[in-house]
Chains A and B, each alone.
Chain A
Amino acid sequence: MKFRLDTQNGITVGIAELEGRLDASGSAPLQKASADWQTKTPFLVFDCSRLDFIDSSGLGAIVGCLRRSLENNGDLRLAGLTPKVAMVFDLTKARKLFSIFSNAGEAAASFGATPTAIQER
């Protein structure tokens, strides 16, 4: 998982790139890394464009990250969901929990926009 900080929009946004499979074995490392990222900024973007597979435990880990961000008055936004990953979000109704954007740049920029200007993609 690559992580970088983006400050282009006047707000520090952490962008994490999720890759490969996010299942039971990948959930704990994500939760642990997320706790570390939260110390830098509560505004996070998960770039899922290279995420091939997610199961319910992976989904649980992402929802856990969202909860932690919200508790820190931040947010977690998702970007670039592949069709298979999007199907899991649709199936489990998890899509309703997240703001989802077509790419990480848009998602990061959305943190700088006013709340009404944020459009869910």
Chain B
Amino acid sequence: MKTLIAIKEADCAWMRETLPDTHPLLAPLCNKPFVEYLIDFAILAGCREIRLLSDGPLSQIEEYCSNGSRWGIELTYSNLHPSDEEQELLRKNRKFCDTGRTIILSGYNFIDYDKTLDYRSLASIDSAGAIASCPGGSITLAGPPEPSLTDQPLPPVGLTPVDDLKSYCRIAMTTLETGSSRYVLPGYGGEPGCAIGRNVTISKTAQIHKPASIGNNVRILPGAVIGPSAIIGSNVIIDKGSTIKESIILDNTYIGEQLEIEGRIASKNTLIDPESGVTLAMQDPHLLAGINGGATALVLWRKIVHALAAALLLLLLSIPFAILYPLLRLRGKWQDGHSIPNAGLAESIASALSLDRYPLLPGVLTGRLAIIGSRTHENRAANHAGTDCRPAVFSYAETEAWAATESDAAIVERYHALHSTPLGDIGMTIQALINRIHYRNPT
């Protein structure tokens, strides 16, 4: 038996508007891409060959699902025309379908299956036609019946249209409440109703109330309250004291401190009320912001630029360091990790050249540090909680003369961590060096 999954862009246009960067078939439903529920059902029905059809781009799906080997199936892709009906789909894919029974899953619908039940009797049902339908599509059998693989009767199959944010949210919450007893859901859980992904840090003072699902690479900071009925995606930070209840936090989202999200969907800097459809794009990065998890090219480019700048500084300062370091050591004026006091010519030169930071520069070459970012070896690290923290030789705060207090410095560092460019960092490093000559701030 084979399966055709036919999704038309018109069926899921609303989801495109909500998650413009994600293909609707990859939209997470309880932290599992939507397409995986369709594949799971096809596998439960005994299919080993599945073809995905769409009138839109499929490259994102192909990249994620590949050839289906991870599910032990053969997955292929093809196009359809927006006006194609089931008979037309069968005709266009006759080479794929002509050997026997085919299940056609059409429309952007959620299949209400149960992983503990046996759906293989779909192959041997005598009559072809729809076995379940809803306004958004159907599950249809085509082709001749195949020999029965099971003597179990066909369990009931429900089909719910996912046609707006309200239905998406409702289905996600139902799936969360039903839990892994019925669906194959991601994450690990010591007890029912709570699934937690990999690389998740939960503060001792944070609370998790079931049911809750937490994705991978998530940080839940002190005092945060998750749940009941909370779905936290991957690459998410929930900052101190915030409450997430009956809500969905999609991937790559930062939730600021002391916020209350109830009955909402949060995606990057956008907050959505699924009931009314009202969408609010926040402009305060300390309230709600996107976490750029996919910018690996930018991260690499930044590392290269920083490493080149560090290599240049290492080279330029090598002779002054070689001369002044032993001298200051002998005089007892050099203390690792501390700035050099301005008491004498040698000290002044060493301080003006920022030689106290020279031992940190090799750390930039190894990628352990950035040339400019946050001075995290100071006690400020604890407050930063790693949201945008780039441990560095020089601090963004040193580029701004006004940042007098720790909290001022944290604001400056946070702002530049979010908005700076790799080449801009070099200009700011020079600015920090100049400022250090003028202000010689104690650290």
Contacts and interface: CB of A to CB of B under 8 A. Distances in A.
B4 to A, nearest CB: 41
Most buried by B among A56, A83, A84, A87: A87
A19 B150 CA distance: 67
A56 B278 contact: no
B284 A84 contact: no
B273 A93 contact: no
A23 interface: yes
A92 B287 contact: yes
Given A91-B259, A93-B258, A93-B259, A84 B278 contact: yes
A92 B259 contact: yes
A81 B317 CA distance: 60
A23 B283 contact: yes
B10 interface: no
A92 B280 CA distance: 14
Interface string A78-110: 000001100110111100000000000000000
B284 A55 contact: yes
Contact of B284 (A56, A83, A87, A90): A56
A88 B259 contact: no
B278 A83 contact: yes
B283 A91 contact: no
A83 B259 contact: no
A56 B276 contact: no
A83 B286 contact: no
Interface string B245-264: 00000000000001111101
Interface string A33-53: 000000000000000000000
Contacts of B273: 83, 87
Interface residues of A, number: 11
B242 to A, nearest CB: 10
B80 interface: no
Contact of A87 (B258, B271, B286): B271
Nearest to B263: A90
A9 B206 CA distance: 48
Interface string B269-291: 00101001010101110111000
B283 A83 contact: no
Contact of B260 (A23, A55, A90): A90
Given A93-B258, A93-B259, A93-B260, A87 B278 contact: yes
Contacts of A90: 260, 262
Interface class of chain B by DSSP:
loop
A90 B261 CA distance: 8
B270 to A, nearest CB: 11
B280 A84 contact: yes
A120 B281 CA distance: 27
A48 to B, nearest CB: 14
A56 B286 contact: yes
Nearest to B260: A93
Contact of B287 (A23, A83, A84, A91): A91
Contacts of A83: 273, 276, 278
A87 B280 contact: yes
A93 B258 CA distance: 8
Contacts of A87: 264, 271, 273, 278, 280
B325 to A, nearest CB: 46
A84 B280 CA distance: 6
B278 A91 contact: no
Nearest to A88: B280
A83 B272 CA distance: 11
A87 to B, nearest CB: 5
A79 B280 CA distance: 20
Contacts of B261: 91
Contact of B271 (A23, A91, A93): A91
Contacts of B282: 55
A92 B264 CA distance: 13
Nearest to B287: A56
Interface of A: 23, 55-56, 83-84, 87-88, 90-93
Given A55-B283, A55-B284, A56-B284, 4 more contacts: A56-B287, A90-B260, A91-B259, A91-B287
24 contacts: A55-B283, A56-B286, A56-B287, A83-B273, A83-B278, A84-B278, A84-B280, A87-B264, A87-B271, A87-B273, A87-B278, A88-B280, A90-B260, A90-B262, A91-B260, A91-B261, A91-B271, A91-B287, A91-B288, A92-B260, A92-B287, A93-B258, A93-B259, A93-B260
A-B residue pairs, 5 tightest by C-beta = A83-B278, A56-B284, A87-B280, A84-B280, A93-B260
